[in-house]
Amino acid sequence: MQSDASARFVMNMFSKHYREASLIMPERFSRREFGFMFFDRDFVMRHLGFPSRAALKKYLVEQVPAHAYYSCAYYETPDAPTMAQKKWLGADLIFDLDADHVEDAKDLPYDKMLERVKVEVIRLIDEFLLGDLGFDADDLKIVFSGGRGYHVHINSPKVLRLTSHERREIVDYVTGTGLDMDWVFPPTPFETGRWKDRVEVDQKRTMPRLEDGGWRARIRKGIDDLLAELESLSDDDGKKRLGQMMAESKREIGKKTVEGLYKDLFGGTKGRSGADRMQLENTFEVFSEKRHLDAFVDMVEMRVKPKMKGETDEPVTSDIKRLIRLPSSLHGKTGFEVMPMSRERLDSFNPFLDAVPKAFGNRPVNLRLEKPVEVRLRDETLSIDAGVSSVPEFAAVFLICRRLAKLET
């Protein structure tokens, strides 16, 4: 916080929120460890437990933390001073997705960053958690972190006793880590000829189908998207684009191979019969040479797989003792509320409208800004010049927490 006056103002507003808010408590909260970071203290307070909602509310109102956390783990004695003494009983499975884990997101303006992250968290939920992994929607608790992303909690009995290693295996599946192209495109031996007592054998790969499910279906969809991208281009541009994709291959691909591969796929004309046959017949027999097929498989691994994978913070998911943000608490770097929601609510959720605490009013507050700022909060678009300006209370908290302004005294 930039000044004592700014810190006191924000702490007063946070305390007001905690006095007025109806806290949303995590399940079996008396078995959870709690931890806090503060505006006016430079240490982390943890190894705390609360027997009741009232006890936690009293602590939040009086101590006014900048950040409030609770453990994904359940303990026999959550307020014991050491982890060994707590006696671990199990833990929720947590997925944490923020701007650091989404390509290009962290360089975007804050509002666009959150939009980009939401797209990826919806993919994570729909394609992987509800899709491939088969969790029930009732087992999922989706939470806006108040900062730069979202958390997804799963507290199904099926996951509570999973070890760190088993949780890491789930992350590897979501992110496609260790995905073997020989599994995606299984090679099948076939006889190419005989001479006396010798049999010549080669291998052909099988094209995955959408109905295969899992990563095979995901790779197939990515192939279809890739072919559609190339098909939308002229022949010259298509060859150029294919060459650019091939440049990222694990092996050196020459111009002749690129041209041969393009001809196999699209016949050098707009007919594109090779690609059509590949998709309609689920076959790789459109490639005239083995090196063309090998180059295509390399391209799928380097281009398609990264686009089709899910994202999550691996250390968070694999940690069976992690502290995670407390729903209905406030985030000290934004002033936004940590908001739980259903999958249906996620689609329309807008943190700049929905996560601004109701306790923050419209009372005018004088701030000093070093640079002009434009932000939309609640239903207001605020264009604020550099220098001293009066803004509504709810906007003042956001701007101070985001270090865009300080209180003018």
User: Do 336 and 215 belong together in one domain?
Assistant: no
13 phi/psi in degrees, rounded to 5: -70, -40
The whole-number pLDDT of residue 27 equals 92
Active site annotation includes 379: no
Active site annotation includes 96: yes
Helix, strand, or coil (residue 149): strand
User: Do 194 and 289 belong together in one domain?
Assistant: yes
User: pLDDT for 349-361, tens place per residue?
Assistant: 999 999 999 999 9
User: Do 249 and 146 belong together in one domain?
Assistant: no
Write out residues in the chain with pLDDT < 70, as ranges.
Answer: 1-2, 189-194, 196, 199, 201-202, 249-251, 268-272
Domain boundary residue among 249, 280, 308? 308
Q: Among 98, 264, 294, 298, which one carries the catalytic annotation?
A: 98
User: Do 167 and 189 belong together in one domain?
Assistant: no
Residue 275 lies in a domain: yes
CA–CA dist 379, 9 (Å, integer): 23
Q: Are the beta carbons of 46 and 75 closer than 8 angstroms?
A: no
Assigned token pair, 83: 């982890």
CA–CA dist 258, 279 (Å, integer): 20
Q: Among 264, 294, 298, 313, which one carries the catalytic annotation?
A: 313
Dihedral sign for Cα atoms in the order 313, 317, 318, 324: positive
Whole domain around residue 261: which residue ranges? 181-308
Residue 10 lies in a domain: no
Active site annotation includes 313: yes
Helix, strand, or coil (residue 67): strand
Give the residue from 363, 353, 359, 352 showing the smallest Cα distance to 328. 359
Q: Supply the pTM of this predicted model.
A: 0.88
Instruction: Please report which helix (H) or strand (E) contains residue 391, including its range.
Output: strand 387-392
Using only C-alpha atoms, the chain has a radius of gyration, in whole angstroms, of 27
User: Do 264 and 332 belong together in one domain?
Assistant: no
- Amino acid of residue 354: D
Q: Are the beta carbons of 121 and 150 closer than 8 angstroms?
A: yes
Residue 157 lies in a domain: yes
CA–CA dist 334, 355 (Å, integer): 10
Residue 189 lies in a domain: yes
User: Do 278 and 369 belong together in one domain?
Assistant: no
> For residue 98, what are the CA distances in angstroms to 182, 349, 371?
32, 16, 26
Residue 384 lies in a domain: yes
CA–CA dist 134, 95 (Å, integer): 15
User: Do 243 and 197 belong together in one domain?
Assistant: yes
Please report, for the domain that includes residue 375, its CATH number: 3.40.5
Domain boundary residue among 308, 325, 342? 308
Domain boundary residue among 356, 374, 390? 356
CB atoms within 10 A of CB 187: 12
Looking at the structure of the chain, the number of domains it has is 3
Residue 84 lies in a domain: yes
Fill in the DSSP letter of residue 138. G
DSSP E strand boundaries for 167-219: 187-195, 198-205
Instruction: Please report which helix (H) or strand (E) contains residue 123, including its range.
Output: helix 110-123
Give the residue from 176, 23, 130 showing the smallest Cα distance to 346. 130
User: Do 140 and 241 belong together in one domain?
Assistant: no
Residue found under tokens 């906007």: 395
Fill in the DSSP letter of residue 326. P
Please report, for the domain that includes residue 101, its CATH number: 3.90.920.10
User: Do 343 and 409 belong together in one domain?
Assistant: no
Residue 15 lies in a domain: no
User: Do 292 and 235 belong together in one domain?
Assistant: yes
User: Do 295 and 317 belong together in one domain?
Assistant: no
User: Do 43 and 84 belong together in one domain?
Assistant: yes
